Structure 1
Amino acid sequence: MPTTRRLDGLDAARGLACVSMLVAHLCPVGGPFVVSEYLTAPLFAVIIGVSMGLVLTERHPTTATFLHDNLQRGLVLVVLGVLLQQVYSQIDVVLPYLGLLVVVMAPLALPLHRRPALTLGVAAAAAVAGHVALVRARLALDQHYATWPQWGEDIVRWVAAGDSYRLVSLLPMALGGLALATVLRRATRPRTGYAVVAALLVASVAAYLVGRTTPDGSAPYSGTTAEVVGATLLAAGAVIGSFLVLALARRLGVGRVLDPVLSTGRLSLTAYTLQILFLAAVAVVRGPVRDDSWFVLGSTTVVVVGGCWLFERRLGVGPLEWFVRRTRPTTHPVAGTERVRSTND
């Protein structure tokens, strides 16, 4: 298998997040598929934290470049997300919330990326404070709904009161990813990686079970402390597991089977956009019917995963990724760090 300049395990985790997203949005049944509801958004958030940590420790960008790069990246996500939400309303588009997360997370990552213990402490405090902020923000919206301008209501929802996503819930997850970046190389070694994944999954289940015994619960998207902690642990296990599964597949000589998932991870912004555009087209053809069906899930998966795979094979890049890179400031990698050049894409 040729060596790439990407960190392939992280691309595999992004690809997993995209596939999990499709299942969460479109799967018509629950059962084991409900795991996607707990995993998708937290996995995107944790990957953002991991990416920032790797960029800071292995690429060593200047502070100005790092902040500018992530400000631009965040604004692209916000603008694109708002536009896609207008195109298709049956899905709560997560991109604006992730864009806001990127903008807020960048200045926090600078002083924290080499201090994993402090980062985990801040993440834990944010997980507790985030639920308090959520409750207070929703109460404020209920009390002042008629008097607030639309833009003010939107900001409050993006930051703290959103029904499915909100900054105060995603931020602890990204901080957990930032801490994970400091031990990622060791945690993904085969001898220890499987034990680490098992421990994280057990801890995640324990957090959810403890949360279910409290009045606040631990349902997906709820933003309770138990849900945020459980989701962060689950997503961290998924990141490490993605590295391990990819390495195992390559050792067995079947790594090429995962190429479509890797392409989807590398072109995750294009993947999200393809999903929304295809679902909007399906809605025009079929009319305003529910989109959670096996046919829609299967056809959308083929379009998104197959489309990203073809884009990368034929063009080497997706259209959205091409645009972002064309407008991104140019940096020169430090010698010996070329392999992680694009971990923050």
Structure 2
Amino acid sequence: MADAPGGLRSRIATRRARLDGAGRERGIDLARGLAVIGMFAAHLLDTSPFDGDDPTTWTDVVNGRSSILFATLAGVSLALVSGGSTPVAGTRMDVVRGRVVVRAVSIWAIGILLIALETPVYVILPAYALLFLAALPVLSLRASTLFAIAGAVAVAGPFLVWLIDTWAVWETPAGAALEQATGWHYPFVLWFAFVAAGMGIGRLASSRPSTAGALVCFGAALALLGYGIIGRWAPVAPAETVWSFVLSSEAHSSGVAEAVGSGGFAIAVIGACVLLCATPARWLVWPLRAVGSMPLTAYAAQLVAWALLQPEPTVLQLGSDLVAFRALDPFWPLTIATIAACTLWALLVGRGPLEAAIGWAAKALVPAR
């Protein structure tokens, strides 16, 4: 029996087509989904330093790398909304830039609200918003230039982070507020390297298997360079010196080795996801692609759930203890619930609620000319 127009089957078919249409970057959705779940793991699992001989430490792969993958994918998204391989120009680019500003302000405001929940994690969204703004001047650049900028920032950025970290303001209440407002745990003066690299990827025809394969190889080479070569120099440098800082490969160290190694890891993951989604296996990962179609909603929902489910809530059920919450083994329940909710939402409604609201605001405030 055929489904009536507007019926459930028709609605599901229409919504499903949104993630499977010819113009949709399925591999990018999958990579976003993996980045979100990776950040869940980094927050909710006890990650010990990686040891190849000890499988219990393999979860450390998510530590730091998931958030860097998230930032790199932000750059890919910026490139796609500004024309993909052929950047828009003139008034169309003006509209894109205006809408990016609206998105940045909205994301920053959501980040500040999530910080107010007082969950014991660093919220990436304020830094994410600043990175969007920092990308405005380079939105029209081609891939080669963007990759060159990414490389320069990855090398020079750690020195600038080290210098800024020496400022006395960080020891004051104003410094604490500034750290939260800028998301300084993810210092934008270095993390712009990942956004620029992602924009470079978005300027390529990355959906082609040959291009995706090249991304996997290039990313793997960078990971080897960062972790296997540059990272080996850091222990040689005297402790507590600028060199021990800027050469570090440790997660969230803001060192050159981490920037190159984790940036390469992100590039390789994106290429691998594109290759996977060029095969029938893309149907097996459809739920993860659904999460990746609404990453802001999934990320925010996790922190809200954390605030509500913590072991010892305050009167307003805000704030929690990291160790006590991890003791509840919340990773799998929250992850499965997130994947299920995003899948149902994608099939029955479509675009994620936060993504839809910000998109509506951007179009309303900056209409097409």
Give yes or no for TM over 0.5.
Answer: yes
CA distance in structure 2 between the aligned counterparts of 1:272 and 1:259, rounded to whole angstroms: 18
1:44-55 to structure 2, matched below 5 A, reads: 44-55=70-81
Which residue among 27, 30, 41 is the counterpart of 2:45?
A: 27
Task: Give the Å deviation of 1:153.
Answer: 5.3
User: Structure 1's 154 and 88: CA in aligned 2 closer, same or farther, altered over 3 A?
Assistant: closer
CA distance in structure 2 between the aligned counterparts of 1:173 and 1:86, rounded to whole angstroms: 27
Task: Give the Å deviation of 1:229.
Answer: 1.5
Task: Give the Å deviation of 1:211.
Answer: 2.1
Q: Which has the higher contact order (CA 8 A, sep 6+)?
A: 1
User: Structure 1's 182 and 67: CA in aligned 2 closer, same or farther, altered over 3 A?
Assistant: closer
CA distance in structure 2 between the aligned counterparts of 1:231 and 1:56, rounded to whole angstroms: 26
Q: Percent sequence identity over matched residues?
A: 25
2:189 maps to 1:168: yes
Task: Give the Å deviation of 1:14.
Answer: 0.8
Quick check: 1:184–1:240 contact (8 Å CA) kept in 2?
no
CA distance in structure 1 between the aligned counterparts of 2:138 and 2:215, rounded to whole angstroms: 26
Who is 2:110 aligned against? 80
CA distance in structure 1 between the aligned counterparts of 2:346 and 2:104, rounded to whole angstroms: 23
Task: Give the Å deviation of 1:157.
Answer: 6.6
Quick check: 2:75–2:198 contact (8 Å CA) kept in 1?
yes
User: Structure 1's 273 and 157: CA in aligned 2 closer, same or farther, altered over 3 A?
Assistant: closer
Task: Give the Å deviation of 1:77.
Answer: 1.0
Which amino acid is 1:97 matched to? A
1:1-345 to structure 2, matched below 5 A, reads: 2=17, 3-4=20-21, 5-30=23-48, 31-58=57-84, 60=88, 62-110=92-140, 112=141, 114=142, 116-141=143-168, 145-146=171-172, 150=174, 154-155=177-178, 162=184, 164-185=185-206, 188-190=207-209, 193-194=212-213, 196-209=215-228, 210-214=230-234, 215-216=244-245, 217-248=248-279, 250=280, 254-284=281-311, 288=321, 289-293=323-327, 295-329=329-363
Q: Can you give the 5+ residue segments of structure 2 that lack an aligned partner in the other structure?
A: 1-15, 49-56, 235-243, 314-319
- Pair member with larger Rg: 2
- Look up the SS of the partner of 2:133 in the other structure: helix
- Which range moved further: 75-84 or 6-15? 6-15
Q: TM-score, normalised by structure 1?
A: 0.83
CA distance in structure 1 between the aligned counterparts of 2:132 and 2:60, rounded to whole angstroms: 27
Quick check: 2:119–2:306 contact (8 Å CA) kept in 1?
no
Who is 1:341 aligned against? none
Who is 2:239 aligned against? none
User: Structure 1's 225 and 190: CA in aligned 2 closer, same or farther, altered over 3 A?
Assistant: same
Who is 2:6 aligned against? none
Q: How many residue pairs align between the two structures?
A: 318
Q: Can you give the 5+ residue segments of structure 1 that lack an aligned partner in the other structure?
A: 334-345
Q: Deviations over 1:136-165 (max 9, x none)?
A: 1111136x744xx62x65446765x93x31
Q: TM-score, normalised by structure 2?
A: 0.78
- Look up the SS of the partner of 1:93 in the other structure: coil
Which amino acid is 1:72 matched to? V
Please identify which structure carries the higher helix content: 1
Q: Deviations over 1:35-60 (max 9, x none)?
A: 11132111111112122222323473
CA distance in structure 2 between the aligned counterparts of 1:212 and 1:176, rounded to whole angstroms: 24
Which amino acid is 1:87 matched to? L
CA distance in structure 2 between the aligned counterparts of 1:119 and 1:321, rounded to whole angstroms: 26
CA distance in structure 1 between the aligned counterparts of 2:329 and 2:119, rounded to whole angstroms: 20
User: Structure 1's 140 and 284: CA in aligned 2 closer, same or farther, altered over 3 A?
Assistant: same
User: Structure 1's 75 and 283: CA in aligned 2 closer, same or farther, altered over 3 A?
Assistant: same
Which amino acid is 1:173 matched to? F
CA distance in structure 2 between the aligned counterparts of 1:245 and 1:23, rounded to whole angstroms: 22
